[in-house]
Amino acid sequence: MCALKQPSEDFLSMKAKMRTTPYHFNLLSDTERLSAFLEAIKQKAKGTVYDIGAGCGILSILAVPYSNFIYAVEKDSRSAKLAESNFKEFNNILLINDDARNVIFEDKADLIICEMLDTALIDEEQVPVVNSILKYLKDDGEIIPQGILNGAEAIYVDRDSICYDDEFESSRINYQILSNLVIYSEFNFKNLIEEYVETEFELEICKKGTFSGIKITTFTLLTNYIICGPTPMLNPPLLIPTGKMNVNIGDIIKVKLSYKMGGGLDSIQTRVKKIS
């Protein structure tokens, strides 16, 4: 993990001028997230760049000084219209208002930026989209982010439905962590990824209490040297209720977890069993 520099005054001035949706305004307000992507783009951007899921265009604009040409692809018409306005002063960005899976690119990419990220990639189309455009990446090309790590912890949470630990929520969720973090999966986006996840892992209880759920945390590998943990707008932890049981220190919770990446939160299924 590298130490990230704070954005420059020029960058902050440019950000302030951008036209955004309310959601993209929150994205721009997440300085930690933006600083991490800016540092990764400085290291990796060159030649032809695809910005997939470009939103209002901030990452395309960050890539301008380091690239020859940028294809900025955004499916949402409202966001694409705002991006078009934000791109007016740049002559090396082409905005494409379409689903990236439908686009036939004229040039292969030296770099693909795809920031359609969500915790464990469950509620975003990152995996199906990247899988579909890998054929356009040069043999020596790179992807930002290059991969993710997913971890799980046993928790007590007084909720009946799946929710995010999101600081933008009007009321914060109180929960208690009962185990150490276990990394249960790792993905590299340069490889084709199976969208369906079925995994088993064990969580050792380190604090006596009531177990009632799983906390999923995703760490984003932007490059080999930049790892970004959850930030206010990047992969807030996911809390998955599982039913309550009393646990003691040393108990093992065996978890069977399945979901579809890009399939939404309704695709999540869990089975848990205590091994005393």
Looking at residue 215, what is its pLDDT?
98
Break the chain into its structural domains and give their ranges. Answer: 9-115, 147-275
Amino acid sitting at position 41: I
pLDDT, tens only, 77-87: 999 999 999 99
Nearest Cα to Cα of residue 258 among 164, 163, 184? 184
DSSP element (H, E) containing 270: strand 269-275
Topology of 9-115 in CATH? Rossmann fold (3.40.50)
The percent of residues in the chain predicted with pLDDT above 90, rounded, is 78
Domains 9-115 and 147-275 share a fold: no
Q: Which two tokens stand for residue 4?
A: 């990230």
Phi, psi of 84 (to 5 degrees): -55, -40
Nearest 5°: the CA angle 266, 271, 276 is 150
Looking at residue 13, what is its pLDDT?
63
Examine the pLDDT at 93 and tell me if it is beyond 60. yes
Looking at residue 4, what is its pLDDT?
47
pTM: predicted TM-score of the whole model, two decimal places: 0.90
Rounded CA-CA distance 244/97 in Å is 47
Nearest Cα to Cα of residue 257 among 265, 268, 266, 267? 268
Q: Over range 211-216, report the average pLDDT.
A: 98
Looking at residue 23, what is its pLDDT?
77
Task: Write the DSSP string, 170-221.
Answer: SSPPPEEE-B--EEEEEEETTS---SEEEEEEEEEB-S-EEEEEEEEEEEEE
The CATH classification of domain 147-275, taken from the options 1.10.240.10, 2.70.160.11, 3.40.50.12500, 3.20.20.70: 2.70.160.11
Examine the pLDDT at 2 and tell me if it is beyond 50. no
Q: Over range 248-264, report the average pLDDT.
A: 97
Q: Tokens 């999966």 label which residue?
A: 185
pLDDT, tens only, 3-28: 444 555 556 566 667 888 877 777 77
Amino acid sitting at position 164: Y
Task: Write the DSSP string, 224-263.
Answer: SS-EE--BTTB---EEEEEEEEEE-TT-EEEEEEEEETTS
Task: Write the DSSP string, 62-86.
Answer: HHGGG-SEEEEE---HHHHHHHHHH
> Using an 8 Å Cβ cutoff, are 254 and 200 in contact?
yes
